[in-house]
Structure 1
Amino acid sequence: MTLYDQFNNDGYLILKDFYTEDQCDAVMNRGLELSNSFNFDGHPSVFQTNEQTRTSDDYFLNSGNNISYFFEKDAFDESGKLKNDLFHSLNKIGHALHDLDPVFEKFSRSPQLKALATELRLDNYVIIQSMLILKHAKIGGIVDVHQDATFLYTEPNSCIGFWFALEDATIENGCLWAKPGGHNTTLRSWFKRKPSGGTEMHIFDNEPLSMDDMIPLEVKKGTCIVLHGFLPHYSLPNTSGKSRQAYSIHTIDSQLKYPAANWLQRDLSVLKGF
């Protein structure tokens, strides 16, 4: 079975040893450098998947063209002060790392990724967003079950994600969970901008995403996991003493309709693929 057929059958691929340890370390080191250069002004944007409509703000909505920093929901004490140092208070960095930083761009547009994109027949695809997901030891929070196409909606669906384990991902430190074939379902919702400002979750289908038969995708450092946009997946909190850093990029077919109501807005005509 080809990778193309396997991906369409299972809704995801697990590709071991896709990147070397040194390549993963370079991305993590650059993430630390970027966070150290972040001039935090005391007005945080909190990333929390189960409250994204409520917590959406201008900083978040403008992050598609920037390198922006998002905090864990429990990073602050009752007086609004950080409980820990800034780096270990962050949930993620995004969403244009792949276009604005040379280290992340090299990682996002490597020869092996170009070859994989060709094998998956992603001829018209562009990289529309990227995220360094930190998932720090003991404090890395839950990512609720979701479909990536909810956040990067095209008509018809084309969203495909590439998730890279920068460190070993285990059940204890919050690996991904998914079900083989779970992408053979409907898109439940669309996270979109409201005409009046802010965001809302437009519901297509009220049936909850099934978590039955989901399995942990425990992988080693350097692994690439490819995710279909309809595939329900989630990760649990990091309860271990080891961090679980990951880097992800999301791609769409640039020839399809990308509505102006999508939360993330970029000029597709200037976006690049692999």
Structure 2
Amino acid sequence: MTNPLSSHQLTEAQKQQWEQDGYLVIPSFFDGEETKEMLDEAKRLCDEFEVDGHPMTTFKTAADGEHVGDEYFLTSGDKIRYFLEPTSLSPATSTQPAKLIVPPAQSINKIGHALAMLNPVFRKHTLESDRIRDVAKSLGAQESPRVLQSMIICKQPRIGGVVPCHNDSTFLYTDPPSAIGAWIALEECTPENGCLSFLPGSHRLSRTANRFIRAPDGGTTFMDVPGVEPNEENWDDMEGWRKAPCSPGTLVLIHGSVMHKSPPNPSDKTRIIYTFHMIEGGKGVKYDEKNWLQPTKEMPFPALF
């Protein structure tokens, strides 16, 4: 049943802020009860992580370097799978495999990538959410958004790693670029435990000149986008970076071209968030078979509306 009080149309001021900055912070988008429901579910999933049989696949984001690319990762688009913090494992040797050096629930970097489709709690607050649909419609950036890459991201206390400067269209490439992220704080996100930082306005300057793909011989790699000259800017060194601390229940919309990052978490507090992405699914926009994340016949990327 649709609750008439659950709508959330963006104001003109919010839309102007989005156009200007390339991201939009919306405090109290989810109320305390809704946020707790998602946080409790995220913690339940973490607590249920089974180490036995897991390939010990770790996850780290590197826009120009090594990246995860095993089959466990590449076939996770229609499943709920666990990816570990690299520093949660002992180094593998020629005689000993890598082993967890922290409790299993505290080893998790992220859980994905089909939570919005397969988990009832996250489906409720994504595909079944009138407010999410209203925001996407009033944003006016996509005519027919498709939801993909829904996941919990945990910055674990003392071991949660850095996410370097990047834009999302590199990893969820469409022609032309169309990705939008929806990032939801389930706990307090502060400079001390790894809140997001943005370079406002960089979405108007950055060009998606390379993309993260499935390598022809297996695994993943990056390839140049034909006809797109790479930016010469060193984004990290540019002035104007802005931290975006936020309270539980905050929704942050992220333009696919805006440069953003987050630091490690040396604190003793977790920073658990839920996020999903949207791409344009209408005519004239192509999501091709080179992308690392692929829909399946059984689970195509669902339409938001």
- TM-score (norm: length of structure 1): 0.94
The match for 1:273 is: 304
The answer for the alignment partner of 1:146 in structure 2 is 166
Identity of aligned residues (%): 36
Distance 1:272 1:77, change over 3 A: same
After TM superposition, give the deviation of residue 196 of structure 1 in Å: 2.0
Partner of 1:165: 185
Q: Say yes or no: does 1:177 pair with 2:197.
A: yes
SS at match of 1:65: coil
Q: Mapping of 1:187-226 within 5 angstroms?
A: 187-204=208-225, 205=230, 207=232, 209-211=234-236, 212=238, 213-226=240-253
More off after superposition, 75-84 vs 254-263: 75-84
Where does the alignment leave 5 or more consecutive residues of structure 2 unmatched?
1-11
Mapped to 2, the partners of 1:145 and 1:191 lie a distance apart of 15
Q: Which amino acid aligns with 1:88?
A: Q
Distance 1:62 1:269, change over 3 A: closer
Q: Which amino acid aligns with 2:261?
A: Y
Name the CA shift for 1:139/1:54 in 2 (closer, same or farther; >3 Å): closer
Cα distance in structure 2, aligned partners of 1:28 and 1:141: 20
Compared CA separation, residues 115 and 67, structure 1 to 2 (3 A): same
CA distance in 1, matches of 2:167, 2:19: 16
**1:52 positional shift:** 6.5
Match of 2:71 among 46, 50, 58: 58
Larger Rg: 2
Deviation at 1:27, TM superposition (A): 1.3
* Aligned mate of 2:292, from 258, 263, 266: 263
Contact 1:188 1:207 in 2 (8 A): no
Alpha-carbon spacing, 1:273–1:71, altered in 2? closer, same or farther (3 Å): same
Structure 1 Cα separation of the partners of residues 186 and 36 of structure 2: 7
CA distance in 2, matches of 1:31, 1:139: 18
Q: In structure 2, do the counterparts of structure 1 residues 265 and 53 end up closer, same or farther at CA, with 3 Å as the change threshold?
A: farther
- Classify the secondary structure of the residue corresponding to 1:91: strand
Tell me by how many angstroms 1:53 deviates.
4.4
Aligned twin of 2:55: 43
Report if the CA contact (8 A) 1:153-1:258 is conserved: yes
Aligned partner of 2:262 in structure 1 is: 235
Structure 2 match to 1:113: 132
* Match of residue 9 from structure 1: 20
Displacement of 1:28 in angstroms is: 1.9
Tell me how far 1:209 sits from its aligned partner: 4.7
1:76 CA displacement: 1.1
Alignment partner for residue 25 of structure 1, among 9, 15, 36?
Answer: 36
Task: After the TM superposition, list the runs of 4 or more consecutive aligned residues in structure 1 that deviate by more than 4 angstroms.
Answer: 51-54, 267-270
The answer for the alignment partner of 2:4 in structure 1 is: none
- Is the CA contact 2:50–2:104 (under 8 Å) kept in the aligned structure 1? no
**Residue-by-residue CA offset, 1:95-124 (whole Å, 9 max, x unaligned):** 100000100101113221111111112330
